[in-house]
Structure formats: C-alpha cells, structure tokens
Chains A and B, each alone.
Chain A
Amino acid sequence: MVFITKYQAKLIMKKTSKRNRIRQTTGGKIFSIINYTFFLLIAVIMIYPFWHVLMQSFSGVNETAAGGIFLWPKGFSLSTYKSVFMNTEIWKAYGVTIFVTVTGSFVGTLLTAMTAYPLSKNRLRGGKLIMFLILFTMLFSGGMIPNYMLLKNLKLLNNIFALIIPLLISAYNVIIMKSFFQSIPDSYEEAARIDGANDVKIFFRIIIPLSKATIATITLFSAVMYWNDFFSTVLYINKKELWSLQAYLRNMLTNTAEAMSAVGVNINLTPSINATTIKAASIIIATVPILIVYPFLQKYFVKGVMIGGVKG
C-alpha cells in the first residue's frame, strides 16, 4: 500500500525540478522544448472539448448548425439556458441525483469507516477472515442479473434507495481506510481507554477526528461516483420521476427528439434554439458541479489516495 502524502508530493516536485536544472546540454534543451510543446498540445486536447461545448451552449442556432471550431460563442445567446432552466424534468433529475449523492456518500463513508476500524485491529478475532471475504468481492461478483434479481426480491425496484444502497461500501475504500487506521498510533486508543471510553466512543470521538483527510477523500470520491452513476437507474428504475440526472441526460443526449421535447419546444415555433445548443447546455450544467469540487478532489487525492497494490 503506497500513500502519496502532500509532503511527498512537494518532495517529488522539488526533487525533479532540482534534478533538471543540473547541466542542460544542447540536446537536453531541444528535448525540453519538444517536451513542453508536447504537453501543451496534450493540455489543449484535454481542455478543448469542454471549451467547445461551453461556447456552443452560448451560441446561436445557425452558427452551431454550421459546426467548426468554437473559440468564442458565435452569435451570443442565452436563450438555450433559459429554456433548459425552465424545464422542470431536469430539475427533478437534479434533485434525485443530489439526494442520492449526499445520502450515499455520507452514509457510505460512515459505514466504510465503521467497517474498516475494527478490521484494523490485529487483536480482533475473525478479522482476517472477514477481511478476506471483503477482498474476495473485488475478485469475484455475482454480476448484473443476480444483482437485479436481488433488488427485485428486496422490493427495491423503482425505489430511490436502489440507487444508493448497492453502492454504499466498496472493498477498495475499506482497504484504504483500514490501512490509514493502522497508521494511527495505539497510544491514542490506550489513553482513551484509561479514561474509561469504550471502542464505539473511541471510534467516534478520537479516530474519526484524526482521520478527517482520509474521510474527506473517500466522501468526495464516493460523491463523484454517485453523481456519475447512470446504470443503476437504467437497471432498477422505470418511473421517470426517479431518474437520476445522468440517466436523464443519457436519454436526452442520445435522442434529438427527446432533447427538443425535454425543453418543451417545437422547432418550428422556437427557432432560436436547436438540439445542439440544448445538448451543449445540458452537458455544461451536469458537469459544473464536478468542476466545482475538482480542486478539492485534486487536493485530496494527492494527499491521501491509495495508490499501488491492493494488499490488505
């Protein structure tokens, strides 16, 4: 199990920068120039698609219909956003996703920590066996149909909790939490025990506050997973009012007629918007929340994400 700590990350940066400043030969300089150019190009390739869609979403109908490169909005217009925001269905889907994301990531992380903490104690009888059973789920699983049948038997189909419960705990996150808990010195626990605290109290009062960074990391990753999940909806939900945002978008992005009717427009009556701009605007409003949490995500995954083997 390898962790990159913030300190290590800084060290990597320092090390490499120092290293490269030692003696630059002509060949080295040429290499550097090519290397920088290469990564500049990569950066453009990574950013441009999102930029393109953002600019399209602010553009006029005729301009988007023609296509081409969009560095800036062509024929600036806000009418697409106006009609997308007036669509109640998309807000409903937004609401479903927000509920699922908040509940799922919060409860899921709590359960993950509760599972991982006892397993981090070597003295726990049966802990090794339980850990093995959890790890085994990473290697072998029932798969789509048995999962579907299970939820059907549990009467969870067409229930918003079908989008939450099956994804609550992942074996991977249990491993991350467990190895973090193992790095906490025993002295904390011992001191609390002398004060008469039991394990539950120790866990909530001492261990959790000590693990804020790891817990934040897992909460954020779990939130992104819930936010991006569309297949649970496809599998378990028929009722359209329980569709998650991603499932709703999928329907809209693959189907032009759906995109038009989603915003309640008749193309002949409202010529100021078209499917391309509607799709572009929808992509943007579903992506913005990810972009907002992205700096935090990045801060934390450099700080505390498990990298490397999946050793227990």
Chain B
Amino acid sequence: MNRGVAEHSKGKRICKDIIRDKWLYFLLLPGVVFFLVFRYMPMVGLRIAFLDYNPFDPASSPFVGFDQFKKLFTSISFPKVFWNTLKISMLKSFVGFPVPIILALLLNEVSNLKFKKFTQTVLYLPHFISWVIMAGLIRSFANPTNGLINVLIEQLGGKSIDFLTSPSAFVPLLIITEVYKSMGWGTIIYFAAISGVDEQLYESASIDGANRWHKVLHITLPAIKPVIIIVFILNLGNILNAGFEQIFLLYSPLVYDVADVIDTFVYRMGIIGSDYSFSTAAGLFKSVVALVMIVGANKLAKRVGQEGIF
C-alpha cells in the first residue's frame, strides 16, 4: 500500500518535472527526430542483411537468416577485400600513429614563437583540403609522364613509376598521402595535453640537471600517455576504415587486387550492382567489428588502469 503511494507520487513528480521543462523538450524535439530518422532508421534498415531483398517488391523479400553472411565469407572476393582493409588500415596506423607524437614533441622544442605558429599553420592545412583536391594533386604529381615525382625520379636516373596503376606502388602511395594529410591535425590533441603539464616540473628537473631529452622522457611523455592511449583506442575502432574517400578517388580496376576494401566493395556491390542484401551484410559485418573493437579496447584500457573514452 505504502509502496503504491510512493510510486504514484514518483510518477507525479516525473510528470511535474516534464511539464516544468516542456520548453526544453520542445528545443530537443527536432534533434531527437533527426537522430531517430537519419541515424536509427538506417540501423533498422540493416535487417535487409538477413533477407533476400527484392527491390521491386520489398514486402515479398524472404527471410534467409545468415545466408548472406555465408555467401560473403565463402565468396572469392570478400576474404581478399577484408584482408586488404585490415592491411591498409593497419599499415596506415603503424606509420601514422607515431608521426604526430614525434612532431608534437619536436615542435614543442621550437622556441621561436613566430616560426612555431607558422609551422602549425601549414601543418594543419591539408586537414581542411578535401580528398577530391588531394586526389587531384596526387594524380598530377604521380603522373608517369610529366608528374613532378616521376620527373625527379628520372632525373636521378630511375625509371618512372605509375603509382596509380601499379599494385606494388599503390598501397605505399595510400599510406604516404594519408600520413601527409592527417599528421599535422593529429598533433593538436598532443599539444593540448602538453599544455597541461605544470611548468614547475620542468624547472625543478632543470635544477636537478635534467637535459631536454630527460625532460621529454620523464615529464612530457608520461603527461601525454593518457592521450596516446585514447588515440590508440580510437584507431582500433577504425580498424576496418581503410580510408574510403581516398581509395575511392584513387583506385581503378588495375589495383582492385590490393586496394579494394570493404567500403568500396559495398559501394560497388550495393549502389552500382543493386545487390542490396549482400552488400548490407558486408557493411553490417564491418560495423559490428568496429563496435566490438572499440568497446573491447576501451575495456582493456580501463583494466590496465587508464582512462578510457567512455
């Protein structure tokens, strides 16, 4: 009886709070509708991965369970695509992960303010340039006949390389250009962490006779360690993101063998080929792996005593 009253009054309190905040809910409404329609409806749409979707009569699409996934993993192309994705994304991380850390530490040692600011300005710039433009630049520079890179290679006595069509040169090209575009922007997060270091630590270290290298090793690096871990977790969550726009804009059938990744595969199978269920299954597989990776990495970080991202 008492409990009933308590629950009743709790319900009343909630109603009262909601009425009090009605204008806040009013402000929130468009955003909630947006997320429901444009973020959650596509998640509902993932169900076609379990159907044999018929675009002309969607209602009659039969339920096929995990058949699309079976088809995916027994196909000739998908295991290769999956491997390409992993390979490109891991190579990009392996090369690209330490670069911003090193740049931030080195730039932190630059004492001339104007020079430092100038360097930061030019380092951040490529982040704001679209991949379409970057791809245009890459095509122009890597052109086998008059591209600057090949002209230089030839002047040095080498043989011109067609980076965009050569399977052995294409993946290195992807990695280098990705690092080029993202390394500067990547330093920002480390600068933020370095700025949080107490100046007195450096001063007392100097008094104790520490040199620059000691200070980096024992003060700056430990200070940015949590950020390094966060970036690492985010990288793991992106393990199946090999860089869709970049590859999409640069690849061609000649390099499908090494550069076709899950996203490009989904695009060709789904949008071009209209094989909706099959391509959605590939996309769903990717989304699930990303979710598992990021949640797992976050748990791991917490287990070893670090702050995770959520």
Instruction: Tell me if B208 is interfacial: C-beta within 8 Å of chain A.
Output: no
List the B side residues contacting A165 at CB < 8 Å: 38
Q: Is B14 an interface residue (CB 8 A)?
A: yes
Q: Which of A13, A67, A123, A145 contacts B21 (CB 8 A)?
A: A123
CA distance in complex: A118, B22 (Å) = 10
Q: Tell me how far the C-beta of B154 lies from the nearest C-beta in chain A, rounded to whole angstroms.
A: 10
The one of A22, A23, A45, A250 in contact with B132, judged by C-beta atoms closer than 8 angstroms, is: A250
B291–A139 contact, CB under 8 A? yes
User: Chain A residue with minimal CB distance to B183?
Assistant: A42
Q: Is B46 an interface residue (CB 8 A)?
A: yes
Given known A-B contacts A250-B249, A308-B230, A146 and B128 have beta carbons under 8 A apart:
no
Identify which of A49, A68, A307 contacts B151 (C-beta below 8 A). Answer: A68
Assess whether A4 is in contact with B195, with CB atoms less than 8 Å apart. yes
Q: Which of B119, B143, B237 contacts A39 (CB 8 A)?
A: B119
B118: Cβ under 8 A from any A Cβ: yes
Q: Mark A49-68, 1 if CB is under 8 A from B, else 0.
A: 11011001000000011111
Q: Is A300 an interface residue (CB 8 A)?
A: no
Contact check: which of B109, B116, B133, B287 meets A141 at CB < 8 Å?
Answer: B287
A53–B189 CB distance below 8 A: no
Q: Which of B28-36, B59-67, B77-85, B165-173 contacts A (4 or more CB under 8 A)?
A: B28-36
**Is the pair B115, A118 in contact by a Cβ cutoff of 8 Å?**
no
State in angstroms the CA–CA spacing of A64 and B143 once bound together: 12
Question: In the bound complex, do residue A253 and residue B135 qualify as a contact, i.e. CB atoms below 8 Å apart?
Answer: yes
A144→B270 contact, CB < 8 A: yes
Most buried by B among A66, A117, A307: A307
Does residue B7 face the partner (Cβ distance < 8 Å to A)? no
* A166 and B24 contacting across the interface, CB-CB below 8 Å: no
Q: For window 263-299 of chain B, which residues contact chain A by CB distance below 8 Å?
A: 263, 266-267, 270-271, 276, 279-280, 283-284, 286-288, 290-291, 294-295
**Minimal Cβ-Cβ distance residue in A for B14:** A125
Whether A35 touches B280, Cβ cut-off 8 Å, given contacts A124-B24, A254-B249, A276-B140, is no
For B44, list chain A residues within 8 Å (CB).
Answer: 142, 146
Known: A39-B107, A53-B140. A142 touches B148 (CB 8 A): no
In contact, A12 and B24 (Cβ under 8 angstroms): no
- The answer to whether B309 and A250 touch across the interface, beta carbons within 8 angstroms, is no
Interface residues of A in 267-312 (CB under 8 A from B): 276, 279-280, 282-283, 286-287, 290, 294, 297-298, 301, 305, 307-312
**Who on chain B is nearest to A137 by CB?**
B39
Task: Tell me whether B24 and A20 are in contact (CB under 8 A).
Answer: no
- A214 at interface (Cβ–Cβ under 8 A)? no
0/1 interface trace, chain B 113-125, chain A, CB 8 Å (1 if under):
1011111011111
Cβ of A192 under 8 Å from chain B: no
With a cutoff of 8 Å between Cβ atoms, the chain A residues found around residue B145 in the complex are 67
Cα A123 to Cα B192 in complex, Å, equals 31
Interface contact B123-A17, CB-CB below 8 Å: no
CB<8 Å pairs between A and B, sample of 12? A8-B195, A35-B106, A64-B146, A69-B148, A137-B35, A142-B45, A168-B34, A246-B133, A249-B136, A282-B136, A298-B124, A310-B310
Lowest 7 CB-CB distances: which A-B pairs, in order? A142-B42, A115-B31, A67-B146, A146-B45, A228-B130, A143-B283, A20-B111
